[in-house]
Each structure stands twice: as structure tokens, then as C-alpha cells.
Chain A
């Protein structure tokens, strides 16, 4: 019998519980059994549900009538981080806090599926956050800064930097 991860002979049979809660047999060589045990002994911080799989399932479930809106969804792009919904579907990770606003329509059913709930309950930050306007301006300005530096327009970069400092200094005003 060959190791399921390489072609060496199997020396270990390990039973694991997979993400659906089913028992699964792994047949591994000496080296891969070691890697496997190390991986399993680590702090487990990865959610069992694969978000990009879920997101794909959701889009295909949305039915025939959704074909038109599907492509519109695919093309929608976050102006701040340039994330597209398609990219999110592939990676399962969002690009910036603003994506929760931009892709709200698609994300809400996904959140309901993952958490059975759609509204936060629990801790809130004590400190009054900057208004959303300021937050998005800051992300935008940092983008401008990157571009101006890449274009070697140092005069513009200096101006943008001043604007960022100005906005950041409003931090303590609540």
C-alpha cells in the first residue's frame, strides 16, 4: 500500500474527524504521518466550513433568473481595495472593511448559513470610532500615496501624506 501523499510504503493508519464530522482513514508513510500529527497537534484556528466553497454554492443555487445579476455581481468591484466578488469566491477572504457594504447582498445569506444569525450581539469597542467617511478617505488616500510614489511624483506624495496626517490627527476627537 502506498502513502496517500507520496509513493512511499504506508507505515501508519490514522483515523481523523473531517470537517463534516465524519471519521476518515489516512494511510501515510513515516514522514507524512509525522507531518500529519504535527499539523493536528497545532492550535486549530481554521473554520471547518470552507467559505469559498459556500460562496460558490450560493451563487449556483440562486437559480436561472439570477444569471443576469450574477454577472453584474461578478463585475462589481470595491473602489477602495479593488476586490471583486469573483475574487472573494475564489479565496474566501475579503479585501477591506468596506467590502461588507459593497457585497452586502451576497454576503448576508452566506452569513446566515454560516452563523444562523445576521446581527451582531456582544462586545462593542468603547472608543468612539472615526466616522465611516474618514475611514474610507484614509484607505483612499493611502492608495493615492502608493500610486504617486510609484509614479515618482514626490510633490503629490508629500501633499497626500499631509492630508493623511491631518485626518489621522482627528483620532482622539470623539
Chain B
């Protein structure tokens, strides 16, 4: 597998085929791990970082987990940005220094960052609301890796991490939600405060007034010590169905009370995407968010969620440039993005052009 083969598929987290995927974009779990006999990253020398990479790469190949390793240090800026856009590496790994990399499986559901904040950051992403499946997959991968590694662990404090906020289980469990209808009410505020009280954190953007914005939110656990992995996963998965329920109700209310306004809003968004001749990635994201809601509410019927997801990822700057095969300035990208959108949206409605 090479990085150039990736843009053909939207990646696991944007497949749009998981449970409740009209609202839950993806479920994600990551584990922080460190090798016992090396200093953490901030105190590791260049040669120690190389040695860490070597040991982890060996354990990956011995673990039989079918992951391909990519050297992020030697990678082009464009490829690094490309991996960030696909949520396979973090900005911190992209902008870090010294020997570091990422191992990916073929369907991009698993990635292992090496020498990020911790020696190992194992991540599994699944489309839709699928935390238990994500946990089974990551637990198995973690078991295979540690068979060949000495992991920093204490009976009292659990897995030892560079930052005390990750010590214990080293787990971060998160779901990414699309809440465009709740975002237009003022209930979201109260709901998120309640989540904060039970140690869950919320991050995201919401619209101003009736103006559609991204409306994507991430909810994740803050606590990592003193509760087992299944308990931490449960605390999150217990509240999600309720949030899904509220969003569905809010969508129905919007439909009955403000159908015309809503229909106008999503049709305009769709119209701009189909006809623009220059468009920024941020405007694209906001309009696609609106179109996504339109599809979920049955106001747009000639496009599917999976197709919108494909447009989300492929209109990001690095993706656009990789598809185009060369680096471009911002203005050129905006023109290319608009023509890509016009072309793809026509193909999606009419099927691919016949030869």
C-alpha cells in the first residue's frame, strides 16, 4: 500500500455506513503506551527515538497485524497534511521533529503513531456509533503489540504516560456527532454542561443564529485513572443514545415548524456547491454540513450521505492537491475545488459519464 492509493476511498471514519451514522459520524478509541526502558519523548535523544521506532516496527511485524509503516520524518509536507486530513495522524506528529511515523492497516480503521507525545498512540476508528467494536479491535491490537514490547506500567498507576492526564488506562474514547438541528436550538448548551459534570468533554462548533455552520461536535472522556476501560466506554455510550434521540426530535420539530426556511437553506447550500466557480475549504465544509442535514431530513433526495462524506474529505486542501497531482496556491485550489465539486455532483446525480 502507498499513500497515493488512499484517496480513492473515503477512509473508515467517513464511510457513513455504521450504526446511527445519520448523526454519529464516527467512534474512536486510542491508547497511550510507552516503552519501559526509554525516556519519554521530551527527554529522548535522536538515537533513542530511532531505537524506539526500530523496536516498535519489529513488534508490529511480529504481531501479524497487517499494518504498513510510513516514515513521517521523511515524508513531504503535502503527505503529512494529507494524513492529518484523514485523521490518521495528529497535527502534533505532523509538526514534531526527529524519527517518527505511523503504521496503518488497509481499511484505515487502525493507526499507530510512533513518537508522538507518547512512544505509541494506538488508534481505532469505526464508522457510526460502534464503540464496542472499536474497543474489541483496539484491545486485540494492543495485546499483540505488547507481546513483543516492554511497556511502562505500574501496579498502582497503570500505564505510565508522558502527561499525567493519560495515566492509568491511557484511553481516550470519543464520538464525533453531527448535530445541525440541536445546534439551532438553545438546548445544546445545557446538555453539554451536564456532560461536563460527569467528566466528559465536549468540543465543537455551532452555528450563529440560524446561519448553518459545521455543527460537528466531539464528546470524549477526560478521566483515565481509576476506572476500567469498559466502564469508561460505558459512561460515554450511555449518554449518546439520548443525544441521538434529542437530535432526531429537534430535526422533526424543525421540519414541522420551519420547513420552508429549512428547505430554502439546504437548497441554497446545495445550489452554491453545484454552481460555484471558486470556493474555500471552510465554506465547502459548512455548505456540505447543511446538505448532509438536508439529506437526513429527506429534503434532498438525489445524493447520499456516503457521497457527501467523500466530498468532505476530497475537498480538503491536501486531498485536492494529491488528486490533482501537484501543489497549488490557495486561489488555484479554490478554483479547482469548485470545479471538482461541480463535476462530482453532476456525476453523482447522473451516474459517471458514459464513454
Contacts and interface: CB of A to CB of B under 8 A. Distances in A.
B28 interface: yes
Contacts of A118: 225-226
A120 B168 contact: yes
Nearest to A164: B37
A115 B42 contact: no
Given A81-B39, A96-B40, A120-B169, A110 B164 contact: yes
B201 interface: yes
Contacts of B260: none
B70 interface: no
A19 B165 CA distance: 14
A129 B40 contact: no
Contacts of A80: 39
A16 B43 contact: no
Nearest to B32: A45
A80 B154 CA distance: 17
Contacts of A38: 281-282
Contacts of B350: none
A123 B228 contact: yes
B276 interface: no
B152 A94 contact: no
B290 interface: no
Interface string B141-167: 011001101111111111110111111
Interface in A96-129: 96-97, 100, 107, 110-111, 114-127, 129
A127 B150 CA distance: 8
Contact of A115 (B36, B196, B224): B224
Interface residues of A, number: 62
Contacts of B196: 21
| Range for the number of chain B residues in contact with chain A | 35 or more
B169 A122 contact: yes
A94 B222 CA distance: 19
Given A96-B39, A121-B226, A49 B281 contact: no
B204 interface: yes
Contact of A126 (B146, B155, B165): B146
B66 interface: no
B150 to A, nearest CB: 5
A96 B84 CA distance: 28
A1 interface: no
B2 interface: no
Contact of B226 (A14, A39, A117): A117
Interface of B: 28, 30, 34, 36-43, 45, 47-48, 84, 87, 90-92, 117, 121, 123, 139, 142-143, 146-147, 149-160, 162-169, 171-172, 174, 189, 192-193, 196, 199, 201-208, 213-214, 216, 218, 220, 222-229, 231, 280-282, 285
